[in-house]
Amino acid sequence: MSVILASAGYDSTIKFWDALSGACSRTVQVDFQVNTLQITNDKRLLGAGGAPIRLYDLSRSKMNPIMSYEENTVVSSLMFAADDNWLVAASEDGSIKIWDTRAPRCQRHFENGSVVNDVVIHPNQGEIMSCDKDGTVKVWDLSEERETYRLTPNETNPVSLSSLSVASNGSILVTSSKDGEVYMWAMSDLAAGDSKEKMKSVRKLKAHDDYCTRILLSSDAKHLATCSADSTAKIWNTSTFDLETVLDKHKKWVWDCAFSADSAYLVTASSDNYVRLWDLATNEVVREYGGMSGHQKPVTCCALNDI
């Protein structure tokens, strides 16, 4: 499989798409609303998070789950480790759990204290970073099994942070909020001492006038994508913070996005029931995934692996 493109949402289906033709190649019926999708780096597994989390073997013709991690609450975000041997999942009950992908076993369990909206694994693979409803970013050390750092972008009037993304080299962190603000920090070695300068604020930006649902750095960290309830996705230059592109063909909320490996294309998922593929050189939609064979309810998440 050279390109894997998947989407899911309110209709309790996971759909796989032929990226070039736009045809739906496979539909998997599930018994829960899927909030987040992730593909392992080796393209072997697909993780679907809602309640519960399920893993699917992409090489099998019959897509029954090969692993299920039972949760008593709704999973909002998940991410696979670089070696694909474990994943981190964040939940609305405030828990962050590390799950073994080779056995249905929880390896670590952190309590955040409020709803966790998003979680990512730091490139050093030894720390995870989360953002929550209370407007706080936290760093969790896996070896010490504790929170080691926190910051609140808007300390005087904390606003729920909806999403976060970290550069592949660990140099910058970005977060988005429900009021459309975007924050960027330059990061030093998080494991080195207790310096308050581990994260240095670089920029604050009003990206959208409405809820910012998703924020994502491209693999080269030169571009930043934001998705919003205002029916648009936007592309920003991370060096200048100039707005490069407004992608405005969706008709309802844009919930999720995924960059291609070369950062030349962006996939977006929307409440208008469509997934769209954009050429960022022309700002045009080059493929739409939907219609009769597509989702019949809002699409809340998408995943792309074209490496």
What are the angstrom distances between the C-alpha of 40 and each of 44, 56, 255?
6, 10, 21
Q: How far apart are CA 88 and CA 97, in angstroms?
A: 6
Distance from C-alpha of 102 to C-alpha of 161, rounded to nearest angstrom: 32
| Residue 71, pLDDT score | 76
pLDDT at 201: 87
DSSP assignment string, 113-153: SS-EEEEEE-TTSSEEEEEETTS-EEEEETTTTEEEEEE-S
Return the pLDDT at 192: 52
0.75 exceeded by the pTM? yes
Tens of pLDDT, residue by residue over 222-281, are: 999 999 999 999 999 999 999 999 999 999 999 999 999 999 999 999 999 999 999 999
The sign one gets for the Cα dihedral 204, 79, 217, 208 is negative
DSSP label at residue 80: E
Q: Can you list the residues of the chain whose pLDDT is less than 70? A: 1, 189-197
